[in-house]
């Protein structure tokens, strides 16, 4: 599946790469608040979201006083 049509950045999410953005969009996750309602394990289970993307999201969550649901 091509990710060329997927934006480089979504909402207030940090840039995490088009495959991860595509996976988050398909799951309806478009903000850091949405990310915070999921566990690391849930996000890693999405095809296209890997440890690097989850690490970037964790740092962004921390900067905004948020954390994963796990």
Is the residue at 23 inside a domain?
yes
Is the residue at 3 inside a domain?
no
- The percent of the chain in helix, strand and coil, each rounded to the nearest 5, is 45, 0, 55
Tens of pLDDT, residues 11-29: 899 999 999 999 999 999 9
What pLDDT shows up at residue 32? 96
**How many whole angstroms separate alpha carbon 52 and alpha carbon 65?**
20
Q: Please state the domain count of the chain.
A: 1
**How many whole angstroms separate alpha carbon 25 and alpha carbon 70?**
21
Is the residue at 4 inside a domain?
no
Is the residue at 12 inside a domain?
no
pLDDT at 68 over 70: yes
Confidence of residue 6 (pLDDT cuts 50, 70, 90): low
């Amino acid at each position: 599946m091509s990710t060329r049509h997927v934006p480089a950045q979504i909402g207030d999410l940090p840039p995490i790469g088009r495959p991860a953005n595509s996976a988050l969009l398909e799951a309806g996750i478009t903000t850091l608040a949405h990310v915070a309602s999921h566990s690391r394990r849930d996000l890693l289970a999405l095809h296209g979201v890997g440890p690097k993307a989850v690490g970037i999201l964790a740092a962004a969550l921390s900067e905004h006083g948020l954390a994963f649901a796990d």
